[in-house]
Structure 1
């Protein structure tokens, strides 16, 4: 498992582009997928490295 990516915070819309799903799907399914969110106030954000790790684990 490679720990790629950075600590940059991504919006659900940016994550949706990477996963090729809608932003609504990301908001509804991130817990099922095991993605760890970072709350910034009331906003939902995801660390880029967590998304890279998820993709490495599930799509290689």
Structure 2
């Protein structure tokens, strides 16, 4: 007869590394993996991707700050997509916009 505990003899809780992750942790991991995948796609695909970039990613691609991009994208005529209330930039549209402005080449 086991003494002092309610756990059946010979059973132990699963080690922490084998327990299922919490929903919050799973979402955080999925978000990080998606961000890594998007960054890899943005760097490897030139001109033909329908991938949507966040303003941070688009600003980095253009070499400006997010603030400058968000203040100027309409005035500059950069094509954008609204996803709910969020502004996104399609990779190929951004690259085509840059290519259309190349001068002296």
Give the TM-score of the pair, scaled to structure 2: 0.51
2:59 is equivalent to residue 59 of structure 1: no
Q: Hey, what does 1:15 align to over in structure 2?
A: 58
SS of match in other structure, 2:88:
strand
- Which structure's CA Rg is the greater one? 2
Moved over 3 A (4+): none
Structure 1: state its 5+ residue gaps: none
After superposition, residues 1-60 of structure 1 pair within 5 angstroms as 4-59=47-102
Structure ranking higher on relative contact order (CA contacts 8 Å, 6+ apart): 1
Q: Which has the higher strand share?
A: 1
Structure 2: state its 5+ residue gaps: 1-46
